Structure 1
Amino acid sequence: MFPLALRSRGRAPWLGLWLLFVACAGAPTPQTPPAAEPAPVANDASESTTDHVVEDGFELSIRTSEVKAGSEATAEVELLSKKPFKCNDKYPYKFTTKASDGLELSAPVVTRDQATISHDRVLMKIPFKATQTGAHTLSGQFAFSICTSDQCRIEKRDLSLRIDAE
């Protein structure tokens, strides 16, 4: 029932515990490495961009062509499904933009009516205008769904694209 060290055979039951405590008292304590310092936060135009995401079941990217300050431009969000997944043609795809200095967005939320949807690809167009020259960041969250014959996954991913307006 009790380990031998704890059985009372004429000795006090606490003797085994005392011996265990004394034996462990000199043992070295485990050392934990110092925590890494967080990376410094940069301003909006120079923050790191996440313009391409590759995961099991899909690949997601955002891109644009040349941008001129004061002119209309379009960014494209592209979702590519990977087998056995397919893009869910019934899902209300949307890209929710985040405010950015130097960029004027036509709408804070771009919906599926701005997208071309097929089983293996979704291409959504995000209209914007750079109001001044220089570096800007277009960022937001893309909501999407991919399905197999057994299940559907509803996902959201943050995307960010550095734009250099001339």
Structure 2
Amino acid sequence: MTEEEFDAFYAVAFPRLVGQLYALTGDHGEAQDVVQEAFVRAWDRRASFLADQAPEAWIRTVAMRLAVSRWRRARRWLDLVRHQAPPDGVPGPGPEHTVLVEALRRLPEAQRQAVVLHHLCDLSVEQIAVETGAPAGTVKARLSRGRAALAALLSAGEMEDSRAG
């Protein structure tokens, strides 16, 4: 892959991958960081990068692994960071977005990953199986359980909202 081809690929894929990793991590800054790091790693191997036949999947997989690794290292500090209010003047996400991200956070990691890859990344069950190394039947089960849990969480949130209003 030439430098120009890589730059064009980056321009198209970066925003999409950040959105996907944001849905997975719930932290936009973290999503940007891990996707950027994955692209740096891809840059180092750009000569053979297209040989992988799925460069975006490769970057997504690397970014997800980086996110999990960073999360494990930063686990103790997350409580401190979450208790700090955002800086003044920064608009927050809309209520629907916040409810969805919170519901996704409450799903087990494997279910959340399957739901995000299928519904936000538009990957098929077979593609998810290849990316995660799980059998297709396991991916289907994770999707089914994840959807059911997400529906229950979102319905419970709507009921709480209607009671509060």
TM-score normalised per structure 1? 0.24
- More helix as a share of residues: 2
TM-score normalised per structure 2? 0.24
